[in-house]
Amino acid sequence: MFLEAEKTALLLIDVQDYVLDPVNHPPRPFFYDRIEQVVWPSLSKLLPAARKGGVEVTYTVMENLTQDGRDRSLDYKLSGFNIPKGSQGGQVTSRFAPQNDEIVLKKSSACLFHSTNFDYVMRNIGISTILCTGFLTDQCVEQTMKVGSVLGYRMICIEDACATDTDDRHASALKRIALSGEIASSQTVRAALAA
């Protein structure tokens, strides 16, 4: 794998308090086990490697533009996602908190291209490759991967830095993602950044 660090962004999707708090969701043991056993160890190595390698680290979190959520997309209204403006649920988890001048965009739909100015920002910075991580593999990650590809970005899903509610959903999403983007491990990406 070849990566030009100065043209690459690492995107952490919905790695935030609301998603990680079991109170907000029905029981999902696979999700929490995968996070602890796979995702956290992968991100713990990938994030410092990206920063050291000069990759643009970016975040997106689900958060309404309003307190009552009237601005949310229909998909979020139907799914019950309602994270009020300025609430703790909209914060990036402290374990992987943004540093210095890293960009955090708040979205109110499953695809950050649809409800933020992410495309505009990435083009202004000169980004052509986006490394996608986060939650949920078969929702926000998959939609962002597909739309990014349509917009002309090289989209790479970091498989071991993503999770969803079940193993079957994760595997199915990766098959669909592979139709319009690339799948890689965090180890492969770290090696490419170190080359």
pLDDT tens digits for range 47-58: 999 999 999 999
- Find the DSSP H helices in the chain: 17-20, 29-34, 40-53, 74-79, 112-115, 118-125, 142-150, 167-177, 186-194
pLDDT tens digits for range 100-110: 999 999 999 99
In a 10 Å sphere around its CB, with 0-12 CB exposed, 13-18 middle and 19+ buried, how is residue 38 labelled?
A: middle
| Average confidence (pLDDT) over 5-34 | 92
pLDDT tens digits for range 163-195: 999 999 999 999 999 999 999 999 999 999 998
Whether residue 58 contacts residue 44, with contact meaning beta carbons closer than 8 Å, is answered with no
Looking at 3.90.480.20, 3.40.1160.10, 1.10.645.10, 3.40.50.850, the CATH number of the domain 5-194 comes to 3.40.50.850
Report the pLDDT value the prediction gives residue 7, as an integer from 0 to 100: 98
Distances (CA, A) of 163 to 19, 20, 116, 140: 11, 11, 23, 11
- For residue 25, name the pLDDT band (cuts at 50, 70, 90): confident
- For residue 121, name the pLDDT band (cuts at 50, 70, 90): very high
Report the pLDDT value the prediction gives residue 80, as an integer from 0 to 100: 86
